[in-house]
Chain A
Amino acid sequence: MNATTKTRLRAWILEHGRRIDAAELTDDTPLLEKRILSSLQIADLLLFLEELRGTPVELEGLTGASFRDLGSMARAFLPADSVPASEAA
């Protein structure tokens, strides 16, 4: 995984999410709280994440916290080299 993986995830959110301009979407924009993403999009998003990372996501025990914002998703689902060291804690 490389930096483009997170960029592709960001692009997916901009394309499929609602009510947001590219300039407004930061790593900590609350995607669920602002209803940019909905429950109905999670299955599709999970497939996209699996495609990005090339391996299945462990689905049992998954909660909304992993989808809270772009940064949370990158840390939860994308390999570490896609996330700057300062964010990876």
Chain B
Amino acid sequence: MSNTTLAAVATRLSETSVQAALDAEPLAWPDALPDDAWCMSPELVSLYGTPRWDALDEAGRRRLAFFECVNFFTLNIHGERALMEGITRRLYARDLADHTHYLHHFLAEENQHMTWFGGFCRRYAGKIYPDRKLVLPREHAPGEEDVLFFARVLVFELLVDTFNRRMAKDARLHPLVREINRRHHEDESRHLAFGRLLVEDLWRRHAPNWSEATRAAVPGYMAAYLTATWREYYNPDVYKDAGFAEPIRVAREVFASEAATARRAEIESRCVRVLRELGLWPTPAAGDSLEAAS
């Protein structure tokens, strides 16, 4: 894949973004959501398939699904805020200068998404959940920070997009929830197409200039990042709001449960496949460690 190909894709995606913005209708926001509305597909709720889920009555499941939806939208807000900060810092950077026109669209769309997610959380939950992530500064090889940044973005968006695609099609969900998921998926499919090509381009250009140790650490780091991202889907604040005692214990137990582990493996399979194709996923033969590299 050449830099010229990436530039051509960025130009095409820019044109699609312009048209999508022209076609977009404002979202219809009801004053309140009905008590019996499903806001998250039951099969995507973190507790689904565990004894704790089985013990809930229908109203309890819908209530938990509502707070899981608020958490999902919250994760999108925090993720997109970090993404926007990172992209803004890189606008017109030499390495990305040819794609700046698309990065402007990318930023505009991410900002729009945050208004949807934030609008939902503030209107119907009166809050978003706090962000427990903290980025600690460290030294990087030339280009390494960009590779890791855009690879993290790719992982985050691939996971989110799987949820979006499934919930956009789920007729049990409230129409507003379906529509937010549908619109987000539509925009993210462009971001994913660009992001994958960009990561591939940056990795191929920069990684050969790094030390063997720096290069070898990347797949392990990406695996650790994926696990860390998943942990945020098991938010004790959600379990507390849904009425569970000992919410941190619930989070830990559910994350380790067989049902949740199997569901994560199924949902992340697309993400793992993409990372493997890019050479950014640990291979046992290479002796990569799944320990965090950063």
Binding site for B on A (CB under 8 A): 18, 32, 35, 38-44, 46-47, 50-51, 59-60, 62-64, 67
Q: Which residues of B contact A62 (CB under 8 A)?
A: 134
Known contacts A47-B248, A51-B248, A59-B132: does B224 contact A40 (CB below 8 Å)?
Answer: yes
Verify if B204 is at the interface (C-beta below 8 Å from A): no
Which B residues from 211 to 256 make CB contacts under 8 A with A?
221, 224-225, 227-228, 231-232, 236, 248-249, 251
Q: Would you call the interface of chain A mostly helix, strand, loop, or mixed?
A: helix
* Contact with B225, one of A40, A50, A64 (Cβ below 8 angstroms): A40
Q: Which residues of B contact A59 (CB under 8 A)?
A: 130-132
- Complex CA–CA separation, A39 to B132 (angstroms): 11
Q: Which residues of A contact B225 (CB under 8 A)?
A: 40
Q: Would you call the interface of chain B mostly helix, strand, loop, or mixed?
A: loop
Q: List 25 A-B contacts (CB under 8 A).
A: A18-B291, A18-B292, A35-B138, A35-B294, A38-B136, A38-B224, A39-B134, A39-B135, A39-B294, A40-B294, A41-B292, A42-B133, A42-B134, A43-B231, A43-B232, A44-B228, A44-B231, A46-B132, A50-B236, A50-B248, A51-B248, A62-B134, A64-B137, A67-B134, A67-B136
- Complex CA–CA separation, A68 to B132 (angstroms): 17
Shortest Cβ distance from B291 into A: residue:
A18
- Complex CA–CA separation, A62 to B138 (angstroms): 17
Q: Mark B119-152, 1 if CB is under 8 A from A, else 0.
A: 0000000000011111111100000000000000
Binding site for A on B (CB under 8 A): 130-138, 221, 224-225, 227-228, 231-232, 236, 248-249, 251, 291-294
- Complex CA–CA separation, A39 to B149 (angstroms): 13
Q: Which residues of B contact A44 (CB under 8 A)?
A: 228, 231
- Complex CA–CA separation, A46 to B131 (angstroms): 11
Distance between A17 CB and nearest chain B CB, rounded to angstroms = 10
Shortest Cβ distance from A31 into B: residue:
B136
Shortest Cβ distance from B228 into A: residue:
A40
Q: Which residues of B contact A51 (CB under 8 A)?
A: 248-249
A sample of 17 more A-B contacts (CB under 8 A), given A40-B221, A41-B228, is: A18-B292, A39-B133, A39-B135, A40-B224, A40-B225, A41-B292, A42-B132, A43-B133, A43-B134, A43-B231, A50-B236, A59-B130, A59-B131, A59-B132, A62-B134, A64-B134, A64-B137
- Complex CA–CA separation, A50 to B236 (angstroms): 10
- Complex CA–CA separation, A42 to B291 (angstroms): 14
Known contacts A47-B236, A59-B130, A59-B131: does B292 contact A42 (CB below 8 Å)?
Answer: no
Report yes or no: A64 in contact with B136, Cβ–Cβ below 8 A: yes
Distance between B78 CB and nearest chain A CB, rounded to angstroms = 11
- Complex CA–CA separation, A41 to B132 (angstroms): 10
- Complex CA–CA separation, A44 to B293 (angstroms): 16
Shortest Cβ distance from A44 into B: residue:
B231
Distance between B224 CB and nearest chain A CB, rounded to angstroms = 5
